[in-house]
Amino acid sequence: MKDHIEKLFNSQASLQEIKNKIVGGVASFPKRIKVLEQMVNSILPQVDELIVYLNNYEELPAFLIDSKVTVFRSQDSGDISANGKVYHIDKLTSCYFFSLDDDIEYPTDYVDKMIACLKKYDNMVGVAVHGSIFPRRVQWYFERYSLYSFVRGLKTDTFVTLIGSGTLAFHTDTLKAKFSDFCGDVMVDLRFSILAREQGIPLVCIARPKRWLKALVPDEGLYQENLKRKTYHTTVAVKHNPWSYEIYKSIIQPVADVCFRGIDDNEIRLLKLDKQFIVSLKDDTVPENWKETARYRRNVEQRKAVFDPIGFAGEKRILEESHPFTIRQLLSRAVRKPGINTIRLPYLVFKHVMRKVR
């Protein structure tokens, strides 16, 4: 085990010592041009090639004119939104691939740390900075047992079921992906996570300090947009039920047999491994972060109160125009995002009731 640990620590080599090519992929749209420049400036020095898909950009930004940058445009292949980050993935051969977002500023040690983490698991996993654990049986895509946001710190590596594709890295010899896997609805996070599960590849949310990555556009993006409406994400996630611990235990066990055999508590601490999961493999128990929580149950009840599906359009219209439905929506908004929503709550309820009276 000592030799294995030395190998893992020695894997934190500089980019010059890494033989595999390092490729990044990102998609953008015109509103993001300023933050895209910040993002490119932060990641370009760390990669061998950056593939950029521009959706509806009328001109090629000057900062993308670089020998390390390959640009594709929607004028040639259509507006494919975030799917553009994997547009050229079929053409890549044996490399480290970094799936990126145009609204994140990456630290100067990002690629080094991510590849070191991959090597820690003998390149047998995908690693991400943003990840979460789905409920055993998904009912709504945005509900989780556990969530590990990329802006927050994480003391140890943690196995997850769903990754944030703007923070994902993997070796293309391990996780096989084609652009056709992502065609249609935009759900890159979910598609990558399903591919990993189908191919038996564990997903690891890596240990890191707080705010290691910087969000350049807080509270804006596809996630926030989709949170406000029903999407095809839920249909696809439900189709792949269950997302149970038992399934992921069988996926992670082969990696554990290679990387964790004979490991002791001190080594687990030094390597910042997922102790909860390692112990559960030995004791045949379920880690606490893979269990249903009181917070999860409250979120489910809140969602049912506001978004309970209605069978007929007429009934839905009647419900949506009713006092209880609208007031529940206002209350739910105040609970989800307190502050100004809470302060304005009495006024908004009064305004709604008076409108109905008139």
Task: State residue 14's pLDDT score.
Answer: 43
Most confident of 7-21, 145-159, 177-191: 145-159
Going through 157-245 in order, the beta strands assigned E by DSSP cover 158-160, 162-163, 167-171, 203-205, 214-215
Task: State residue 148's pLDDT score.
Answer: 97
Indicate whether 45 pLDDT > 70: yes
Q: Which among 29, 18, 28 is positioned nearest to 123, based on CA atoms?
A: 18
Q: In percent, how much of the chain has pLDDT > 90?
A: 69
Instruction: Give the β-pairing of 203-205 and 126-128.
Output: parallel
Burial of 246 (0-12, 13-18, 19+ CB in 10 A): exposed
Average the pLDDT over each of 9-13, 107-111, 222-226, 291-295 and give the range with the smallest value. 9-13
**Cβ proximity of 41 and 108 under 8 Å:** no
Q: Residues 142-173: pLDDT tens digits?
A: 899 999 999 999 999 999 999 999 999 999 99
Indicate whether 307 pLDDT > 90: no
- Separation CA 261–CA 85 (nearest Å): 37
Residues 6+ apart with CB under 8 A from 253: 281
Q: In percent, how much of the chain has pLDDT > 70?
A: 77
Average pLDDT over residues 229-252: 90
Average pLDDT over residues 204-214: 97
Task: Dig out the tokens for 176 from the structure.
Answer: 């096989």
Which residues is 98 bridged to in the sheet? 24, 169
The CATH class of 2-239 is alpha beta
Task: State residue 183's pLDDT score.
Answer: 86
- Separation CA 148–CA 129 (nearest Å): 8
Supply the mean pLDDT for the chain: 86
Indicate whether 16 pLDDT > 50: no
User: How do the domains of the chain map onto residue ranges?
Assistant: 2-239, 310-357
**Cβ proximity of 202 and 125 under 8 Å:** yes
Average pLDDT over residues 244-253: 97
**Cβ proximity of 103 and 178 under 8 Å:** no
Task: State residue 68's pLDDT score.
Answer: 98
Only one residue has tokens 């997302």, namely: 243
Task: Dig out the tokens for 12 from the structure.
Answer: 């934190």
